[in-house]
Amino acid sequence: MNMSNKKTPMRMQDPAQRAKNFDEVALGYSEEEAVSEAQRCLSCKNKPCVSGCPVGIDIPAFLKKIKERAFDEAYEIVTRSSSLPAVCGRVCPQETQCEKECVRGKKGEPVAIGRLERFVADRAAAKKVKTERPAPNGKAVAVVGSGPSGLTAAGDLARKGYAVTVFEALHVAGGVLVYGIPEFRLPKAIVRREIENLKSLGVKIETNVVIGKTLTVDELFERGFSAVFLGTGAGLPNFMGIEGEGLCGVYSANEFLTRSNLMQAYKEQPETPIMKGGRVAVVGGGNVAMDAARTALRLGAEKVYIVYRRSMEELPARREEVEHAVEEGIEFRLLCNPTKILGVEEKADPKFGFVRGMECVKMTLGAPDESGRRRPVPMEGSEFILDVDTVVIAIGTSPNPLLKDTTAGLQTDRRGGIVVDERGLTSRENVFAGGDAVTGAATVISAMGAGKLAARSIDQALFS
């Protein structure tokens, strides 16, 4: 038993060095470190940590195997519940899930469950632990979207013997894991590896197919699929509706991150352009805002601001991401809201139409609003200009209307999110949905939980 009140530290790249490269920030545990950390687990009989896991991994069981150095068996236990352990070990907000429930966390730090999950998955990949291909059950299921919910549903269904085809609109599979989350937080090689694992289970992946355009949901049934899972993700980026959002140098976070991650604009002499360097303001306080800010820094920005209208207390990003951003030198302009983006107005100037600054107003916190958070109120006359030439807007997304417009009888809510019941079933027979397309922007693991639920419900619907 390891009675230390602190987690076994994980090695990190030095902040000054990592702010200039796209290599992974956190370097992972060695076998010794993993065993030592696993020994902090008390093996509680009632397993409170499992109740905090959206996909229900038997955490004490896999930690026990790590203690015994039976790493392959630990991996086997994790993959019974999770299709993407190397991903989740990196990007799950464990502090609000499994680790929040950990008894060790009552006095000191909880067991580092996320880091151990990552260790087990990375080690299995290095050793090429093979998963076995199940016997086919004769039914085909179509999965729309290859992000975390789609990949999870595909994996679970394939393990039950379904012939699964995943349809992806982009040219590579992975959804937000490849276009959104940057390399330094989730190396793309890991996503590719997890997808290869699914392929070895028999999952087919069709890229360059936009369901709702190339094929409709009804055509998927005509083509012989017995059920359809819609995991199409968050959708259209929100803008603020202020003056100047059409200027050159203003990006949605989706566009900025997609250019850098999916299109690899961070490389030397890329084919896809992105504005590098300069002074950058990222508007918003979520994980996506942190990703955009840290990406801008690595692209060579001389100054990067996070502009957020509430205080640090309300800032929704994970603490760890905020700490990393601060360490790397990103400046937080809190209680601060953009009112106007200013452009170069002289037509003869080669920078005509490009951003030259962002006007902001200082905010103060008033009474709590319907969300329970204190409402930010502008302080009259406190306007000032932030000297920036690039603005990245990371204030969330709205559902994509593509599927709603082309699928008769598919019910959506007032916002446009797909309506599902407690089984993940939509208003259409044998059409299930989950992830951000249902909930609006949320986490990778909650999307995986929804994919898992839908896979179970699809199995019940097709074999009842």
Interacting residues with another protein (CB under 8 A): 169-171, 179, 207-210, 213-215, 233, 235-237, 239, 241, 245-249, 251-252, 254-255, 258-259, 262-264, 269, 271-273, 352-354, 400-402
Closer of 61 and 210 to another protein (Cβ):
210
CB 119 within 8 A of CB 29: yes
Minimum separation from the CB atom of position 233 to another protein (A): 8
CA distance 345 to 340: 14
Pull the structure tokens for residue 249: 């140098």
Closer of 18 and 356 to another protein (Cβ):
356
Minimum separation from the CB atom of position 167 to another protein (A): 11
Minimum separation from the CB atom of position 108 to another protein (A): 42
CB 64 within 8 A of CB 112: no
| Terminal alpha carbon distance of the chain | 47
Closer of 69 and 213 to another protein (Cβ):
213
User: Would you put residue 235 in left (φ > 0), alpha (ψ -120 to 50) or beta?
Assistant: left
β-strand pairing of 374-378 with 250-252: unpaired
CA distance 298 to 276: 9
Minimum separation from the CB atom of position 405 to another protein (A): 9
Closer of 249 and 376 to another protein (Cβ):
249
Minimum separation from the CB atom of position 279 to another protein (A): 17
Closer of 97 and 254 to another protein (Cβ):
254
Closer of 175 and 285 to another protein (Cβ):
175
Minimum separation from the CB atom of position 237 to another protein (A): 4
- The maximal CA–CA distance of the chain, rounded, in angstroms, is 73
Closer of 349 and 421 to another protein (Cβ):
349
Closer of 178 and 330 to another protein (Cβ):
178
Minimum separation from the CB atom of position 451 to another protein (A): 19
Minimum separation from the CB atom of position 262 to another protein (A): 8
Angle between helix 287-298 and helix 319-328 axes, rounded to 10 deg: 20
β-strand pairing of 279-283 with 250-252: unpaired
Minimum separation from the CB atom of position 187 to another protein (A): 18
Closer of 44 and 263 to another protein (Cβ):
263
Closer of 45 and 171 to another protein (Cβ):
171
Closer of 157 and 166 to another protein (Cβ):
166
CA distance 219 to 215: 6
Minimum separation from the CB atom of position 153 to another protein (A): 20
Minimum separation from the CB atom of position 210 to another protein (A): 6
Task: Pick the closest to residue 229 from 424, 416, 364 (CA basis).
Answer: 424
Closer of 197 and 397 to another protein (Cβ):
397
User: Which CA distances in Å does 423 have to 54, 150, 173, 448, 460?
Assistant: 14, 16, 26, 14, 10
Minimum separation from the CB atom of position 351 to another protein (A): 11
CA distance 224 to 439: 29
